[in-house]
Structure 1
Amino acid sequence: MSFNDKVVIVTGGSSGIGAAIAIQFSSLGAKVAIVGRNDKKLDAVAKKCKNPLTLVADVTKENDAKRIVNDTIKHFGKLDILINNAGIANPASILDENAMAVFDLVMATNLRSCVYLTHLAAPHIIKTKGNIINISSVAALQVYSKQSFAYNSSKAAMDHFTRSVAAELASHGVRVNVVNPGPVKTDIIENLGMDKAQQEDVFAKMKSLTALDRVSDAEEIADLVTFLASDKAKGITGSSFVTDNGSMIKTD
């Protein structure tokens, strides 16, 4: 696959799945705009890419979202592919006093930012007949934790948002798809404040919940994303792709 002369925005690109996606697109010839809140982590990812545009931004802020799209167009002259990857997994019980605060934060990060960036980017992507890929989760399809109603809801909504926008943009030659990863080795657990021992326990539990007895590396998700963004997937739109090591079919 080649993405020579293609321009890609990757949100949540400073670590984990987003970083792997940005690095892989760059290795395949794309011009990449990498978006993240942590400038040090963003710089580390940028060093693994060829002449990227790095954008320190918070996708939940409308002015930052506008800057992400405007600066990318100004710098590269166009936009072909949008990867909505930024997300958080803050836990909360529906009975917690802060339930609604957590819900609002998770929905703003995981869903509203995706909707708004798509709204801003779509006119540019229509011009290039490009595509959009949203990074969801198997949590959109199955409940794995009693403390994740906000996260689960945000990802389920993202899946149906993807299908809705795919239906609308198909007539413009734009494809929109969603990827639903299962357990992946990223820093999302660390970002919840867990120490290394706690993180290892969480990943060990995740591994035990999969049929293949493994946890994916972020690069595996990037492999799927770049395939879906390529001409090899030119007949695919409005589709969900699960890559979860069989966690949804685990029977014992």
Structure 2
Amino acid sequence: MFANKVVLITGASSGIGADTAIEFAKLDAKLVVTGRNKDNLEKTAKECELQSPSKLTPLSVVGDVDKEADIERLIKETIDHFGQLDVLVNNAGIMGMGSIENTSLEQYDSIMNTNVRGPYYLTMLATPHLVKSKGNIVNVSSIAGLRSFPGVLAYCTSKAAMDQFTRCVALELAGKGVRVNAVNPGVIATNIRLRVGVSEADYAAYLEKCKETHALGRTGTTLEVANTIIFLASDAASNITGISIPVDGGRHAMCPR
């Protein structure tokens, strides 16, 4: 399905990004994986090589989407190494807790830089190559881009921006044969909340509560999100562009709780 296709995935050192890379590897994609954690990124790359039918070695690029130079280097190394780009998965993202009363500008800037500005610049640099290959883009947004939640203001704002970015770029590039879509995960069991200071006990309680707020009665898995990303990136979705698909167990349809 993705043989001879070059797929670039940001935030591939853990969580959704890592599992998405591995699933693409199973389909024989030529992978570019990037993330900030070198050790974890190497683990992802090694697993991708093991899972690849052709035992393809991913191009592993340590970098931060917060940094313009890293983004520029990422695109350069991708094209220098593979000569093309067919799929861009803007997955890297961070979360932060806080309301309008206590979210600092520093936190706002950090979240917006990683979740919006970085993908914006990376997409800008990737676009000429995607136009050439008639490729596509999948952005990893969040249910927080579609629904309003208190206490995660900057994060919700960033993901709403990502959904609008998806729709606008989809319209801009449709005439050039490039599709742009987004996935909007609900609560997925990853370490994203633990990284922002939520205790393991509180996180466990939160996941238990999610059984009541998700229509299917459970949280999602990284594999479920990865499979949706792969669908959107594939020819099976050739007539789909400009959409945001909730992968959230029905959370978007539930009454607020």
Provide TM-score, normalisation by structure 2.
0.94
Asked if 2 retains the 8 angstrom alpha-carbon contact of 1:126 and 1:172, the reply is yes
2:44 is the alignment partner of 1:45: yes
CA distance in 1, matches of 2:107, 2:183: 24
Query: What CA RMSD, in Å, does the superposition of the two structures yield over aligned residues?
Result: 1.2
- Match for residue 115 of structure 2? 110
Aligned equivalent of 2:179, options 175, 182, 190: 175
Q: Which amino acid aligns with 2:4?
A: D
Asked if 1 retains the 8 angstrom alpha-carbon contact of 2:246 and 2:252, the reply is no
91 and 195 in structure 1: CA distance in 2 versus 1, 3 angstrom threshold: closer
CA distance in 2, matches of 1:187, 1:125: 32
- Match for residue 76 of structure 1? 82
SS in 1 for 2:61: strand
**1:147-195 superposed Cα distances (whole Å, 9 cap, x missing partner):** 1110111100110111111101111100000111111111112212334
Alignment of 1:54-93 (within 5 A): 54-93=60-99
- Match for residue 142 of structure 2? 137
- Larger deviation: 208-217 or 61-70? 208-217
Name structure 1 gaps, 5 residues minimum. Answer: none
**Shift of the alpha carbon at 1:55?**
1.0
CA distance in 2, matches of 1:66, 1:31: 20
**1:203-234 superposed Cα distances (whole Å, 9 cap, x missing partner):** 22223211111111100001111011011100
**1:108-141 superposed Cα distances (whole Å, 9 cap, x missing partner):** 0000011000000000111100000100011111
CA distance in 2, matches of 1:45, 1:89: 22
Q: Which amino acid aligns with 1:133?
A: V
Name structure 2 gaps, 5 residues minimum. Answer: 50-56
SS in 2 for 1:212: coil
**Shift of the alpha carbon at 1:101?**
1.2
- Match for residue 30 of structure 1? 29
**Shift of the alpha carbon at 1:44?**
1.4
**Shift of the alpha carbon at 1:40?**
1.2
Asked if 1 retains the 8 angstrom alpha-carbon contact of 2:186 and 2:246, the reply is yes
CA distance in 2, matches of 1:88, 1:221: 17
Q: Which amino acid aligns with 1:34?
A: V
Aligned equivalent of 2:220, options 199, 216, 223: 216
2:164 is the alignment partner of 1:160: yes
**1:26-84 superposed Cα distances (whole Å, 9 cap, x missing partner):** 11010111111011111111121121111110101000000111111111111000000
- Match for residue 153 of structure 2? 149
